[in-house]
A and B are shown apart, each in its own frame.
Chain A
């Protein structure tokens, strides 16, 4: 719609929806996406792991030590140990006694060591009557995150990294523990110290607060029962009427309680039953209330050592001050703040009863916090540091009373392996056991998947939810609107973990904890009135907003707009940390300020008065390198918003979406997706599940895993011989450097049917392409062995090959062995051949016969697998236990064969159905034979239009000699691409004339053909093929073993059995289930019906009527097991012919 005004030359557009006049269209900021790579240089993706770990080892660890700085002893009141400082050093390896040398992550990977640094402390303590100071005392070792501030890799150039055998594109952010790369996954959980109103199954409203401080974790509930309100806490046996709590907190008059909760009529009415109940309980004074609570506390099982049990009143007061709502500070038993807090909790519950809209959504992402490696490790460290100190205390208690020649020196008793082992054990198993919070979590760490570069990178952005996988609820699994831009909407696994395991989007940043003090100070300066100066009633006056800081009441304000505005202004000019968020919530009339760690946030361009602050000039400066991302933040052009503040802002997608009240604008829309989904070209043209499938498959694609891949000795590594960068790139691909470490090849694909071997997504491959190296891959495996020294000074040894006396050549099994008894590089090893001819002493403990030479038994490391491998590398070193470590790297080169799995980047996987000679392949006018034929039936039901566009864009790219872009919500336009094709003399839709390679005549249909990026997936026939005629059997049942790895049989299962039964093929059943499985001849006594042995019935003491029958061994086993339980099964035999 438009109207032309007289005297004016331009049109004013009127928005048909709002009826308002649109502002002048804002010119698009060219290349504003360049901010994204600039952002990724400093923040995002893996950096948050590193930031969080850096914060831990540089700041938080000092705070932890400060909080637990003194160790005292009950035995000697003068004794103390005081920690003055703690320091985490540079990673090194200890070789023997006090000799250590600096190490690199790669050395640790190869030698199965832990990449860790010493933790040293400066202490002051008493030895006898003297005060001693010691510095740089080792108390344990801290595993070091790669690329963190203490890692040798931090701030290294590419050449320096190469010297350290490290890939410059390796993201870091993981640990090397016992040679294994471990990631501490990001853990998602409900935010701590925040009120959460929810309704339980019965529709009752309750308010829950999970308090968490450094030493306490507790959950407090305000519940309503029969119209009365109670406080529920797990240290209290019963629910306590809420009025009793208020009275215990010192609010003895009912009037002041009601005023604090709110004196609106609807609230007062709701409070009446509770007030009445308080009277029926006979609680009128604080003391009465405390003794009431004291009676309800759970009996403690242990008393503090040495201490006596406190009177119930004191106990209740302590409980109220420290345990209930632990995060609300109570100084000198002044309960005022806690009382107001409780009153607000109660008020929220009452309000939510009237208005169900006030019930919070648990799945709302603003209510979630993400825990990173740093915070998880700090929990673990604090726990074991406390244990370390209590152990010291115990030792001091025990040893000080003893009178010894040497003075008691606590330093001699500091064991460093407690802290080391706890940390290493936690990271290597993933079991996070925090004793003081009674927290036990499994699967916190995972082995970094090194199948491809993208699988490693994808793992670093993974978010693990604490939610149980088995529960059938859709809420936590479904995509929440508040996850927009923070979590990738596509990248989630299928199946049981669907929606629970998530991945960060490209520009997400996770905050680390910040100091509260300065922020509170600033807030007070802006005009927040201190809550201590107020009586209860003013809080609820109209127009008054309560200001919260990290779940604690800070004060109230009468002019919230001014507060928020000035606060944001200060943040934009850098006076307040950029990651502090502030937002208003009008429903409860609150202003929330958050500066806690674990909030998700992302940067936005600030828009003021309808004009984005970032202009083309700024971007120009960015391109010239004059401007960094931090400058954008400092100049107030860009700011970070967390989920809560984001939901309080008006964010435009692009320049066209900017309206009058717009506050922010997206930097680039493709950052909605994560790393894995960022690989997909034209994902906005695909059906959404296809993108999800590709996210899962991209992690199985083989290719390159890093520049240092040839130096690694991994248990399993897949590499492509000739990997290629995709013809159709995305901006994300460039930013994540996937084009430098690709996993796939550009195959020329013809979309047509061929031969019938292409049904059900099977693909046809050109044999000549395979001959020339398409899809050729390398599979690396390792073989490991250690040579130990035993207690009686014997040790493992390696012997040279055994030589055949006739031929003077090594025997077949020892063929690959070198003179030193280890297979040499370049040698081929076949099934059951020996790679390391190791032998072990037979007697490993106890004294040896000094005369006789020690006896040895052979324990060779042999090669298993039907297909031989080549030895690429042999490494000899020593590990942490001073044992020799020998690692062999074995290699197989495989060419694609029928049944190998391939996939494009659009969730279109398929196995090779047929390999066709080149001459039988169709060819076009130019004489081009495609590498691959794909059946067109793969398209209609999958709706992967992105793949069609990738093909045509790739084809145009090949013709023009350039890469096209398939970036999400952008990329090269189909029209332009078609024009390029036409310009080069090709059909504009990419359909060419093909000739049949078999008849030589042109095909009737035009064939859609061009390059498509195909990934070879790790599932290969060679690793799966399995057949058995005879083979090993299980010991117990004598049935064939299970599984390919044990050369097992193929089971005729229950359903197959049902088929045979219904068909009546009884002999077949006997043959399958008994003859070919575990047939066994047993003797049965006809008199007693029990089993006889060797023709003799031990029950009847006769061999008179023993007959032999054939039954399954499992059946015989059952009879015997029943007998062992005093049940005697008896067989009655009859002659079949009678």
Chain B
């Protein structure tokens, strides 16, 4: 288990590794760095980032969280709000609704007045009324009233200028339809206009394009001694399902073996068993990052990762430029 952190009972080993002392080399990185996509769908992606220093993996994670831009509602013009929700809270709730709108097609807002290049306009106009068709003895508010729940689907996009040419109605708006914004009762009314702008997560968490972007190190499990019989079953139960397998050993006894350490939750619960404690060695591979990106829905996770690469590249370029300017 070289190049691994060893998970001990009360701490994680943190010896210096020889590799850390070597000067960083781009050529080396190009050779060693690999990416395997393990799992991919519209909103979630899991991939392995192998052979890089944690600083690089962490840079991507940090950028994903806070520097890849998205669109979010920033300004709320309240024309009427007679609901129970206070104006500020309503604005806050609206701001946190993830929007589907490709941020790459927008600029950061610069002037005071929003333009079609940098702003999306939405409208939420809803009024709760009594349902005249409701059964008289009904107590269910969904039946008694109309529009008693305000959902994100009630938000309407108001295209500015030539935005309607550039974008389809389906491409703009809240990612999910069923986000509850407010509850109304007859006579309550919400009439607001919203301006969504491009921003980054550093400014406010609502601009963060990911629900979370994170990684974990690849778990490693090694059986030092043979674990057989009842102990094998017990060992299996100490790890996440599918981590330890049991097969018929040569002597006819059940024998445990490491099937796939990848999905172990690293609970270290083996260490509770004194007899099994010394039979396993557990570790985390230092340069194998299992990266997970959960998108909020504006962009697909692969695009988000590419976005983070772009941001990192731009940052590096900026730094180089500044250094060059210093030299000259």
Task: Specify whether A and B are partners.
Answer: yes
Q: List residues of chain A with CB under 8 Å of any chain B CB.
A: 710, 721, 767-768, 771-773, 776, 778, 826, 870, 872, 891, 893, 917-919, 923, 925-929, 982, 985-988, 993, 995, 997-1006
Minimum Cβ distance to chain A for residue B186 (Å): 15
Q: Roughly how many angstroms separate A776 CA and B92 CA in the complex, as a whole number?
A: 11
Interface assignment of B170: CB less than 8 Å from any CB of chain A:
no
Among A710, A923, A986, A1002, point to the contact of B84 (Cβ < 8 A): A710
Q: List residues of chain B with CB under 8 Å of any chain A CB.
A: 5, 7, 10-12, 14, 54-55, 57-59, 61-62, 65-66, 78, 81, 84, 86-89, 92, 96, 201-202, 204-206, 208, 212-217, 240, 265-269, 272, 284, 292, 294
Minimum Cβ distance to chain A for residue B290 (Å): 9
Is A997 in contact with B265, judged by CB distance below 8 angstroms? no
Is B201 in contact with A918, judged by CB distance below 8 angstroms? yes
CB-defined contacts of A1001 to chain B, threshold 8 Å? 54
CB-defined contacts of A1003 to chain B, threshold 8 Å? 12
Among A928, A929, A1001: residue with most chain B CB under 10 A: A1001
Minimum Cβ distance to chain B for residue A1002 (Å): 6
Q: 9 A-B residue contacts at CB 8 Å?
A: A768-B201, A778-B89, A919-B61, A919-B66, A925-B216, A926-B214, A985-B267, A995-B216, A999-B54
Is A771 in contact with B12, judged by CB distance below 8 angstroms? no
Q: Roughly how many angstroms separate A985 CA and B239 CA in the complex, as a whole number?
A: 7
Is B269 in contact with A982, judged by CB distance below 8 angstroms? yes
- 17 more contacts with CB within 8 A, not counting A768-B208, A929-B212, are A772-B96, A893-B88, A917-B66, A917-B202, A918-B205, A923-B214, A927-B213, A927-B292, A928-B212, A982-B272, A993-B7, A995-B215, A999-B54, A1000-B55, A1000-B59, A1002-B5, A1005-B12
Minimum Cβ distance to chain A for residue B18 (Å): 16
Is B66 in contact with A918, judged by CB distance below 8 angstroms? yes
Is A826 in contact with B87, judged by CB distance below 8 angstroms? yes
CB-defined contacts of A772 to chain B, threshold 8 Å? 96, 205
The answer to whether residues A987 and B205 also contact, given A826-B78, A1000-B58 and a CB cut-off of 8 A, is: no
Residue of B with least CB distance to A895: B92
Is A927 in contact with B55, judged by CB distance below 8 angstroms? no
Q: Roughly how many angstroms separate A985 CA and B58 CA in the complex, as a whole number?
A: 25
Is A771 in contact with B61, judged by CB distance below 8 angstroms? no
Is B284 in contact with A1002, judged by CB distance below 8 angstroms? yes
The answer to whether residues A927 and B86 also contact, given A771-B206, A999-B55 and a CB cut-off of 8 A, is: no
Residue of B with least CB distance to A996: B58
Is A1006 in contact with B86, judged by CB distance below 8 angstroms? no
Is B265 in contact with A985, judged by CB distance below 8 angstroms? yes
Q: Roughly how many angstroms separate A73 CA and B59 CA in the complex, as a whole number?
A: 98
Residue of A with least CB distance to B265: A985
Is A893 in contact with B86, judged by CB distance below 8 angstroms? yes
Q: Roughly how many angstroms separate A216 CA and B87 CA in the complex, as a whole number?
A: 62
Among B89, B204, B266, point to the contact of A771 (Cβ < 8 A): B204
Q: Roughly how many angstroms separate A936 CA and B62 CA in the complex, as a whole number?
A: 26
Q: Roughly how many angstroms separate A1005 CA and B13 CA in the complex, as a whole number?
A: 9
The answer to whether residues A925 and B12 also contact, given A893-B86, A893-B89 and a CB cut-off of 8 A, is: no
Among A767, A925, A988, A1005: residue with most chain B CB under 10 A: A925
Among A872, A893, A1002: residue with most chain B CB under 10 A: A1002
Among B81, B92, B206, B216, point to the contact of A826 (Cβ < 8 A): B81
Q: Roughly how many angstroms separate A307 CA and B59 CA in the complex, as a whole number?
A: 102
Q: Roughly how many angstroms separate A234 CA and B265 CA in the complex, as a whole number?
A: 82
CB-defined contacts of A893 to chain B, threshold 8 Å? 86, 88-89
CB-defined contacts of A826 to chain B, threshold 8 Å? 78, 81, 87
Is A721 in contact with B89, judged by CB distance below 8 angstroms? yes
Among B11, B55, B213, B265: residue with most chain A CB under 10 A: B265
Is A1004 in contact with B205, judged by CB distance below 8 angstroms? no
CB-defined contacts of B14 to chain A, threshold 8 Å? 1004
Q: Roughly how many angstroms separate A919 CA and B206 CA in the complex, as a whole number?
A: 14
Q: Roughly how many angstroms separate A840 CA and B10 CA in the complex, as a whole number?
A: 75
Q: Roughly how many angstroms separate A1090 CA and B207 CA in the complex, as a whole number?
A: 73
Is B266 in contact with A993, judged by CB distance below 8 angstroms? yes
Q: Roughly how many angstroms separate A321 CA and B54 CA in the complex, as a whole number?
A: 96
Is A988 in contact with B54, judged by CB distance below 8 angstroms? no
Is A1006 in contact with B61, judged by CB distance below 8 angstroms? no
Total residue contacts A-B, CB cutoff 8 A: 100
Residue of A with least CB distance to B95: A771
Is A982 in contact with B267, judged by CB distance below 8 angstroms? yes
Minimum Cβ distance to chain A for residue B84 (Å): 6
The answer to whether residues A1000 and B96 also contact, given A768-B205, A918-B66, A993-B7 and a CB cut-off of 8 A, is: no
Q: Roughly how many angstroms separate A767 CA and B206 CA in the complex, as a whole number?
A: 11
CB-defined contacts of B96 to chain A, threshold 8 Å? 772-773
Among A710, A767, A870, A1000, point to the contact of B54 (Cβ < 8 A): A1000
Q: Roughly how many angstroms separate A927 CA and B213 CA in the complex, as a whole number?
A: 7
The answer to whether residues A872 and B86 also contact, given A771-B205, A925-B266 and a CB cut-off of 8 A, is: yes
The answer to whether residues A1006 and B205 also contact, given A923-B214, A927-B212, A985-B240 and a CB cut-off of 8 A, is: no
Minimum Cβ distance to chain B for residue A766 (Å): 9
Residue of A with least CB distance to B53: A1000
Minimum Cβ distance to chain A for residue B284 (Å): 7
CB-defined contacts of B61 to chain A, threshold 8 Å? 919, 1000
Q: Roughly how many angstroms separate A768 CA and B213 CA in the complex, as a whole number?
A: 14
Is B202 in contact with A1006, judged by CB distance below 8 angstroms? no
Is B12 in contact with A993, judged by CB distance below 8 angstroms? yes
Among B205, B213, B215, B292: residue with most chain A CB under 10 A: B205
Minimum Cβ distance to chain A for residue B287 (Å): 11
Minimum Cβ distance to chain A for residue B129 (Å): 21
CB-defined contacts of A925 to chain B, threshold 8 Å? 216, 265-266
CB-defined contacts of B86 to chain A, threshold 8 Å? 778, 870, 872, 891, 893
Q: Roughly how many angstroms separate A985 CA and B238 CA in the complex, as a whole number?
A: 8
CB-defined contacts of B215 to chain A, threshold 8 Å? 995
Is A1004 in contact with B11, judged by CB distance below 8 angstroms? yes
Among A929, A982, A1000: residue with most chain B CB under 10 A: A1000
CB-defined contacts of A767 to chain B, threshold 8 Å? 205
Minimum Cβ distance to chain A for residue B304 (Å): 14
Minimum Cβ distance to chain A for residue B33 (Å): 15
CB-defined contacts of A1006 to chain B, threshold 8 Å? 10-12
Is A1002 in contact with B12, judged by CB distance below 8 angstroms? yes
CB-defined contacts of B212 to chain A, threshold 8 Å? 927-929
CB-defined contacts of B266 to chain A, threshold 8 Å? 925, 993
CB-defined contacts of B269 to chain A, threshold 8 Å? 982, 987-988
CB-defined contacts of A923 to chain B, threshold 8 Å? 214
Minimum Cβ distance to chain A for residue B239 (Å): 8
CB-defined contacts of A778 to chain B, threshold 8 Å? 86, 89
CB-defined contacts of B7 to chain A, threshold 8 Å? 993
Is B214 in contact with A927, judged by CB distance below 8 angstroms? yes
Minimum Cβ distance to chain B for residue A805 (Å): 28
CB-defined contacts of A1005 to chain B, threshold 8 Å? 10-12
Among A710, A918, A919, A987: residue with most chain B CB under 10 A: A919
Q: Roughly how many angstroms separate A937 CA and B201 CA in the complex, as a whole number?
A: 32
Is A986 in contact with B267, judged by CB distance below 8 angstroms? yes
Among B204, B268, B294: residue with most chain A CB under 10 A: B268
Q: Roughly how many angstroms separate A710 CA and B183 CA in the complex, as a whole number?
A: 15
Q: Roughly how many angstroms separate A985 CA and B212 CA in the complex, as a whole number?
A: 21
CB-defined contacts of B58 to chain A, threshold 8 Å? 995, 997-1000
Q: Roughly how many angstroms separate A987 CA and B265 CA in the complex, as a whole number?
A: 9
CB-defined contacts of B204 to chain A, threshold 8 Å? 771
Is A773 in contact with B66, judged by CB distance below 8 angstroms? no
Among B55, B89, B240, B268, point to the contact of A987 (Cβ < 8 A): B268
Q: Roughly how many angstroms separate A777 CA and B136 CA in the complex, as a whole number?
A: 39
Q: Roughly how many angstroms separate A293 CA and B92 CA in the complex, as a whole number?
A: 83
Among B65, B89, B272, point to the contact of A918 (Cβ < 8 A): B65
Is A997 in contact with B205, judged by CB distance below 8 angstroms? no
Residue of A with least CB distance to B56: A1000
Minimum Cβ distance to chain A for residue B273 (Å): 11
Residue of A with least CB distance to B211: A927
> 5 tightest CB-CB pairs across the interface, nearest first?
A1000-B58, A927-B214, A771-B205, A985-B265, A1000-B54
Minimum Cβ distance to chain B for residue A820 (Å): 19
CB-defined contacts of B12 to chain A, threshold 8 Å? 993, 1002-1006
